[in-house]
Structure 1
Amino acid sequence: MAADPGPTGRDAGSPEDLRAAALRDALADRLIAEGAITTPRLAEVFRTVPRHRFTPGLPLELAYANQVVFVKRDRSGVPTSSVSAPDIQAIMLEQAAVPPGGRLLEIGSGGYNAALMAELAGPDGEVTTVDIDPDVADRARACLAGAGYRAVRVVTADAEDGLPERAPFDRIVVTVEAWDLPPAWREQLAPDGRLVVPLRLRGLTRSVAFDRVADAAGDRLVSRSARMCGFVKMQGAGRHADEELVLNGGDLSLDADDVRLLPSARRLEALLRTPRVERWSDVQVWRWEPWDTLPLWLATEFPGYCQLTLEVPGAPAVPGQFGAPGAAPLEPALRSGTPAVATPSAFAYLTAHPLPDGRVELGAQAFGPEAAALAAKLVGRVTAWDRERRYGPGPTITAWPINAPEPRADLVVVKKHVRIAVDWPRGQG
């Protein structure tokens, strides 16, 4: 299913095509250097597919930049469709390990990723991409045809039910954030099939590569890898609105899978008006270093896990708002999505301070009657992560059908269709 011969290939000789080919090579080289591309086969695919054909109107340099391109927004300006950043597309396709001749389904259509999948599947493969939005599907269809990938099927449908008429699939790649895993996605996988999906879990989004496993224990999905990512959200039957608590008139927000597990906004605001307690861990990280496993490690440990976003820089810590009079402002480790823990008697979050060599040391800042104890516990779990988890394998994530027996695991998150079990390797932590 590689591209039809035509003027968009690498041998085309117009100045624009030659410049585009050079930019494709530069993008592939960058993705290899950054570790997003790890196999020669995928590198060649990135050097082949003309991304600029899927981003019409953008200058070539922007079309081949490592950044997301939003192609549609809702009335509030929230993105509803995009051509994802090349690095996350490469990571997910490496996770998918697309077999030559594979029967493939993409859920969420931008066009470019389907073309990459078509190159990987080859002339004996079959690629179908489905999107709920007719405008997005029409755009993908036109871009694929213009780039020479007319054999890719583009279907307008809600993917909650998969695509039974084309099943079974060797690979299903989901390119929108999913809060849940509908039964059809598992059931329409081939016996040795793989699902790669940006899964929302305890407020965290990870691209999880699930293999279908069916044995005496049951028919389930078992993870092979999980990588940090971000995507536009699922629409249709699988849509799930974010749950968050907004504090102090919008200065802060707390994101969680289920805000019912957190104290009320009023209680949290009261905790944040108490004196601040600070503890440090001696754990040092580079700011650009991926902390993929740390948030999930903390989410496993603390029922009140959430993520703190500071909506206004430096806010809030003036007398009469949060913090005791004269207290320093809140200093979360990240501007958006800092790991935090909320209990009825304390609120704590990760903080960081710079070191001379450019790294930062991780610590905790906490408020409330039990602030010292919660800060110490949070720092202790960061230290345990550094000692036992930071350089080791991440957890195994298993998706059990909702009607299966309750799994025993370090963490179980209940969705509508599945129970997600998170298990860390034994003998550590």
Structure 2
Amino acid sequence: MTLSQTPTADQLRNRLVDEILSQRSVPADVERVMRTVPRDAFLPGIELEDAYTDQAVIIKDNPDGPLALSCASVPSVVAMMLEQLGAQAGDNVLEIGAGTGYNAALLAELVGPEKVTTVDIDSDVALHARTTLNAAGYDRVTVIERNGLLGAIENAPYDKIIAAVGVWDIPAAWWNQLKDGGRLVLPLRWRGQTRSVALIRRGNELVSEGMELCGFVPIIGQNGEKTSALNADDAIRVHYDQDQDIDADALADTLQSGEPALEVASDQRVGGEESFDGVWLRATASDDRVCRLEVTPRALEQELVRRPATPIRTPVLVEGGSLAYLTASREGADPERPFRLGAAAYGPRREELARDLIAHIEAWGPDRLVIPRMIVTPTETGATAGHVIRKPESHITLAY
């Protein structure tokens, strides 16, 4: 390719936005700001082509774990969450997780730079955001180095709050800093999954207005999610919430017994590109046994267990020394939906757990895109009627 043929940053940016628009509808104001703000300006040292691909970019590794400490979010997910937020000119907005500063710049274009506050716990990340925002002409955005769980009382109350980090529990500080009628958008984590949830404050309730599957680096300071190895070389793991009673030793004994899996097929089939994460979501609305199973390539090579539907993150029902998880098997000659969903189960209660997981799959099947209504309340006010997931600072109620 000659120099004259090399695409410019503007061309690459517009190509990226066109790609996002081909996959989902985006409000005109969100499209406008994504075509305006130069993402490459917030990713110094990154190749121009890489700055305009629909991928996350790590800006700081985490020395204490496998996940990055901070990264630039996937642009299509950024667009989706800005749509959920619905920020308008003049709104006072708080962002939790400053990252590169790019999202704060997008918000500044939507509401005005003096109306945006972004906070980050890491000094290097906060400095990066401050530096790139200044260089790109967004010096009136407020950048604060602080634990994001505390919010930013200085510029409260806020019309909108958006979190760019995975949140396991909603801090009381965010409730206190969000106006009644205000909107909170966050990647909320429960029962091993993460959904970007748009919540509207109605007095002492946060009521959902949509949720979308996503994945984010978890916020620092919340430790309600646990992980246990289920075999000696840590090739199989279960991820669960602190309120769930998980007997990792009993599960490990079951998996190491050599007993073959009980395999049960459902009536539901899926296409190769069709998401079946709705099974997981639906199960969490009624079943407190739902966790996340992670099976590494090493475990698959050794054939330690029947292959899960998605090895790195599959819903699993766990009770005592028994478990049942989702499978997807190529079966039959249907070219539109070649995979049949089912359950693989181990342990003394495998028949019961397999039956219950199949029931969740069948409940999801007839209307696969429907999502539950979520109501979140502070712990001190109690929970609404329905199936409740209890966390230290909030209660989550889900209902279909």
Identity of aligned residues (%): 37
Name the counterpart of 2:322.
Answer: 346
Q: Once the 2 structures are TM-superposed, how far is the Cα of residue 281 of structure 1 from its aligned partner?
A: 1.1
Cα offsets for 1:208-232 (capped at 9, x unmatched) = 1111102xxxx12111111111111
Contact 2:383 2:397 in 1 (8 A): no
Name the counterpart of 2:27.
Answer: 39
* Cα distance in 2, alignment partners of residues 399 and 206 from structure 1: 14
* Cα distance in 2, alignment partners of residues 187 and 314 from structure 1: 46
* Cα distance in 2, alignment partners of residues 354 and 378 from structure 1: 19
Contact 1:213 1:220 in 2 (8 A): yes
Contact 2:169 2:392 in 1 (8 A): yes
* Cα distance in 2, alignment partners of residues 292 and 141 from structure 1: 37
Q: Once the 2 structures are TM-superposed, how far is the Cα of residue 167 of structure 1 from its aligned partner?
A: 0.8
Name the counterpart of 1:281.
Answer: 266
* Cα distance in 2, alignment partners of residues 133 and 178 from structure 1: 17
Name the counterpart of 1:195.
Answer: 184
Contact 1:275 1:368 in 2 (8 A): no
Cα offsets for 1:342-399 (capped at 9, x unmatched) = 1236311100112542642111111223323322221122011112x4133x111111
2:136 maps to 1:157:
no
Q: Once the 2 structures are TM-superposed, how far is the Cα of residue 289 of structure 1 from its aligned partner?
A: 2.4
With normalisation by structure 2, the TM-score equals 0.91
**Distance verdict in 2 for CA 1:17–1:186, change over 3 Å:** farther
Q: Secondary structure at the match of 1:148?
A: coil
Q: How does 1:90-169 map to 2 (within 5 A)?
A: 90-110=79-99, 111-122=101-112, 126-169=115-158
More divergent stretch after superposition (301-310 vs 49-58)? 301-310
Contact 2:375 2:396 in 1 (8 A): yes
For residue 251 of structure 1, the aligned residue among 215, 227, 235 is 235
**Distance verdict in 2 for CA 1:19–1:317, change over 3 Å:** closer
For residue 407 of structure 1, the aligned residue among 362, 384, 387 is 384
2:265 maps to 1:265:
no
Contact 1:104 1:172 in 2 (8 A): yes
* Cα distance in 1, alignment partners of residues 262 and 184 from structure 2: 44
One-letter amino acid matched to 1:142: T
Q: Once the 2 structures are TM-superposed, how far is the Cα of residue 205 of structure 1 from its aligned partner?
A: 1.1
* Cα distance in 2, alignment partners of residues 166 and 370 from structure 1: 54
* Cα distance in 2, alignment partners of residues 259 and 162 from structure 1: 26
Contact 2:168 2:224 in 1 (8 A): no
More divergent stretch after superposition (178-187 vs 251-260)? 251-260
- Number of aligned residue pairs: 390
Name the counterpart of 1:396.
Answer: 373
Cα offsets for 1:140-163 (capped at 9, x unmatched) = 011111112122111111222221
Structure 2 unpaired stretches of 5+: none
Q: List structure 1 runs of 4+ shifted beyond 4 angstroms.
A: 14-18
* Cα distance in 1, alignment partners of residues 73 and 356 from structure 2: 38
For residue 197 of structure 2, the aligned residue among 208, 213, 221 is 208
Q: Once the 2 structures are TM-superposed, how far is the Cα of residue 92 of structure 1 from its aligned partner?
A: 0.6
* Cα distance in 1, alignment partners of residues 186 and 316 from structure 2: 25
Q: Secondary structure at the match of 1:79?
A: coil
Q: Once the 2 structures are TM-superposed, how far is the Cα of residue 317 of structure 1 from its aligned partner?
A: 6.0
Name the counterpart of 1:382.
Answer: 361
Q: Secondary structure at the match of 1:140?
A: helix
Q: Once the 2 structures are TM-superposed, how far is the Cα of residue 315 of structure 1 from its aligned partner?
A: 3.3
One-letter amino acid matched to 2:270: V
One-letter amino acid matched to 2:361: V
Name the counterpart of 1:7.
Answer: none
**Distance verdict in 2 for CA 1:417–1:208, change over 3 Å:** same
Contact 2:191 2:292 in 1 (8 A): no
